[in-house]
Structure 1
Amino acid sequence: MATNSPPVRRAIRRRTRRPGPLAARLSAATTALVLAAVGCSGEAGDKQATSLTVLNYYTDASEHRQWGDLLASCGRSADVEVEQTSVPPADLVPRILRQASARTLPDLLMIDNADLQQIAQSGALTPLEEFDVDTRGFADGILSAGTYDGKVYGLAPYVSTLALFYNKKMLAEADVPVPRTWDELRTAAARLTDGDRYGMAVDANPTFESAWQFLPFLWSNGGDERRLDSPQAAQALRLWTDLVRGGSMSKSVLNWTQADVHDQFAAGRAAMMLNGPWRIPELDEDPNLEWGVAPVPVPRAGQSPVTPLGGEVWTVPRSDSAARQKKAAQVLTCINSPSNQLKLAGQHHTVPSRTAVAAQYAEQNPAMSVFVRSVATARVRTAELGVRWPRAATGIYTAIQSALTGRQTPEQALREAQRTATAD
């Protein structure tokens, strides 16, 4: 993120992007995008459009091919040929900035949902209402991922979020129930820790990934990124520090990516892990691994977890060709059709963005039902702070590092995080 986010090896390593690790690059470069507020390249005037260009970060061979097939199919329905260009996740935002400055943005642009606010703010994107794109049937939280200043600029065909994966055999052998609350998580993680096996694993590395993984604990406890120095935020961070200091979670989580967390779980060195649905294909490849998935544990029984929304939105950049924009909007609409959302979700182990399609998908794929339920109440990361989210995310992952290493208490670390988030 995610958001993309991961399969490790095949599709797992590539999806480390779901949590939106590129977002911070934009804050220093918004000025460049402003240059593109009007008139991106394409055919001048309103000549009949016969081809479209598309930019995304789907560089994994199978994912690139799957998207190429879908884009070609949607292109045929709009009577245009579609040329797909995929760049590595770390290169996408710099490329957008260069193309915006040169007014050569593609006709159809995919971006991580956490990046949309800053790109839309610059004026480089076109509100989808100008093309009468149908946005009905999307959950409010999902629709907000593509919304800036009250207008929808992007639609996500699928989304993702986080849940608790657990090793069924390990829990059964230790006579440990699946934890539903924080207290149950502490107890289960301690009882499951044995030798070189830890009870729990998370991604706590110094990147946006760890901020993404921390959000379910922050939000579910009533905290938010506007007040990182609140007691609710400190309680959430103390849960993580208690797990590390008590030996139930490895200190190495300070360096693990989400892909590394998956590797530890798959190898039997972690009995439980926090991760996303994109891990399922890899988990299913091991016939000896019996795993289950449950909602992220909450502070108190009876609560529903509030998790972050990962995934990418598809947008139509500003252009001097109304004809090309109209065709791009038709392709975007096709991508987000119910049948294509269902197809894409099955290919990428994600959740369809239309509520009715997601419910159908959960019936067909029971392992995904936890994620479908969590997505219904999930939040987009930029909902509270908009373009200022990257600063808060930086403060969060810095606080995690400081607290888990013992350099500061959770309260001290989060006071520093609040200063980072509100710095001019």
Structure 2
Amino acid sequence: MISPARSSARRIAALLAGILLLAPAATGCGHRTGSGPAEGEATVITALDYYTDQAEHAQWGDLLTACGRTVGVRVEQTSVPGASLIPKVLQQASSRTLPDLLMLDNPDLQQIARTGALTPLGSYGIDAEGFASGIASAGTYQGKLYGLAPNVSTVALIYNKDMLDEAGLDAPRTWDELKTAAAALTRPGRYGMAVDANATFEGAWQFLPFLWSNGGDEGQLDTPQAAQALQLWADLVNSGSMSKSVLNWTQADLHDQFVAGRTAMMINGPWRVPALELDPDLHWGVAPVPVPRLGQTPVTPLGGEVWTVPQNPSKARQEKAARVLACLNSPASMLTLAQEHHTVPSRSSVAAQHAGENPSTAAFAGSVAAARSRTERLGVEWPRAATGIYTAIQSALTGEQTPEEAFKHAQQTATGR
């Protein structure tokens, strides 16, 4: 998902200088509130995340170190596997041993904030001014901001330029254009289109742009809008323009199919850009996810991790952790992360700057402006809806049920009626 780590004293020094220069522009950066203990009483804080990949761990470690220096603390970073993070956090919350700075995947913030384990960022003078509304929503629980994401991601349509050029096609903008293009690009050994339709939250994530852009609602799945979106996927499979194997493919599998020339188009995210760039003979482009009707703006799901400040007996450490969090969300930090991870800066003005300098991320940046958090509508009930969505996808694409029947059953299962 990320480029190799480039850890060096020179890079850290340059990053630190940039953060010091730009930090005043970051909302909440450098603010002190209340009458807490003196700054010198907290010299070390702890941070917990799930960046276990060696390169990713090092990149975040560099940034945490640099931000720690700006506020006069040493940050001790611990990384655990993604599947272990929430169980560990819940255990630490019950034993009151939470870290000073905690990273959470944005759909998990609601669950942890509900336990009372997190502190509102407004207590430290930090707000979400300048962030897209969906990003602010991802860090909010019951009207209070508990987390901020320095960078985010979403999905778009990635296509093979040579294949589309050979067929005389432009990147499809609407559902009808998508079906036409997928059919024209399909030939023996190659499908025109690919999505991740597997029976996991990843499959539900990939379907959301089609559901939401058609006016569908994850809280009420048995609607014509939801059925129409799923019918699009079913039509692509039934016509032979999309492989039935999408029922088992992950987003990594989509990438492999694309680079091998076995699919001309796919839905995927900016984390695939580094690997796509490794092949100089692969000519690819990125366009927004096609929408039902021309002129509409796609509504895509928001990915990314938020940083939070847990409850802690030491107010001095809480305040230092909050200042490190604000530094992580400064323009300089956002640009560093976006360049290393090929993601989108969370501040709208910084995202526009980055997109102008990196055309391969422009479509993702444009979609982030209208992107939605998965928990925005349902909060902690989102996982139940996601399960209903991917179960319905499986039923419809295997032909076991029509899209209408599949979503009617999903709604009945989710509500118990």
Give the TM-score normalised by the residue count of structure 1: 0.89
Q: Which runs of 5+ in 1 are unaligned?
A: 1-5, 12-43
Deviations 1:331-381 (A, max 9, x none): 001100111111111110110001111111111111111111100011111
Deviations 1:205-258 (A, max 9, x none): 110001000000000001110111100000000000111111111111111110
* Other structure's SS at 2:78 match: strand
Offset at residue 47 of structure 1 (A):
8.6
Offset at residue 419 of structure 1 (A):
2.1
Matches within 5 A, 1:15-54: 48-54=41-47
CA gap of 1:185–1:382, structure 2 versus 1, over 3 A, is same
Matches within 5 A, 1:25-424: 48-423=41-416
CA gap of 1:47–1:339, structure 2 versus 1, over 3 A, is closer
Offset at residue 76 of structure 1 (A):
1.0
Maintained 8 Å contact 1:309/1:379: yes
Task: Supply the AA of the counterpart residue of 2:215.
Answer: G
Figure out how many residues of one structure are paired with residues of the other and give that number: 386
Offset at residue 135 of structure 1 (A):
2.6
Deviations 1:268-296 (A, max 9, x none): 00000000011000000001100000000
Task: Supply the AA of the counterpart residue of 2:321.
Answer: A
Task: Supply the AA of the counterpart residue of 2:63.
Answer: L
Offset at residue 46 of structure 1 (A):
10
Task: Supply the AA of the counterpart residue of 1:59.
Answer: T
Offset at residue 99 of structure 1 (A):
1.3
In structure 2, C-alpha distance between the alignment counterparts of 1:93 and 1:412, rounded to whole Å: 35
* Other structure's SS at 1:270 match: coil
Deviations 1:39-88 (A, max 9, x none): xxxxx999911111111111111111010011011111111111111111
- Residue in 2 that maps onto 1:23: none
CA gap of 1:200–1:310, structure 2 versus 1, over 3 A, is same
In structure 2, C-alpha distance between the alignment counterparts of 1:236 and 1:133, rounded to whole Å: 39
* Other structure's SS at 2:193 match: strand
In structure 2, C-alpha distance between the alignment counterparts of 1:79 and 1:45, rounded to whole Å: 12
In structure 1, C-alpha distance between the alignment counterparts of 2:193 and 2:143, rounded to whole Å: 40
Deviations 1:87-116 (A, max 9, x none): 111111111122112211111000011111
* Other structure's SS at 2:104 match: strand
In structure 2, C-alpha distance between the alignment counterparts of 1:118 and 1:134, rounded to whole Å: 21
CA gap of 1:274–1:75, structure 2 versus 1, over 3 A, is same
Maintained 8 Å contact 1:74/1:331: yes
The 4+ residue runs of structure 1 with deviation greater than 4 A are 44-47
In structure 2, C-alpha distance between the alignment counterparts of 1:108 and 1:174, rounded to whole Å: 52
In structure 2, C-alpha distance between the alignment counterparts of 1:371 and 1:364, rounded to whole Å: 13
Superposed CA RMSD in Å reads: 1.7
In structure 1, C-alpha distance between the alignment counterparts of 2:145 and 2:213, rounded to whole Å: 27
In structure 1, C-alpha distance between the alignment counterparts of 2:40 and 2:324, rounded to whole Å: 18
In structure 1, C-alpha distance between the alignment counterparts of 2:129 and 2:222, rounded to whole Å: 38
CA gap of 1:340–1:46, structure 2 versus 1, over 3 A, is closer
CA gap of 1:412–1:374, structure 2 versus 1, over 3 A, is same
* Other structure's SS at 1:263 match: helix
* Other structure's SS at 1:198 match: coil
- Of all paired residues, the percent bearing the same amino acid is 70
Task: Supply the AA of the counterpart residue of 2:158.
Answer: F
In structure 2, C-alpha distance between the alignment counterparts of 1:177 and 1:366, rounded to whole Å: 17
- Residue in 2 that maps onto 1:34: none
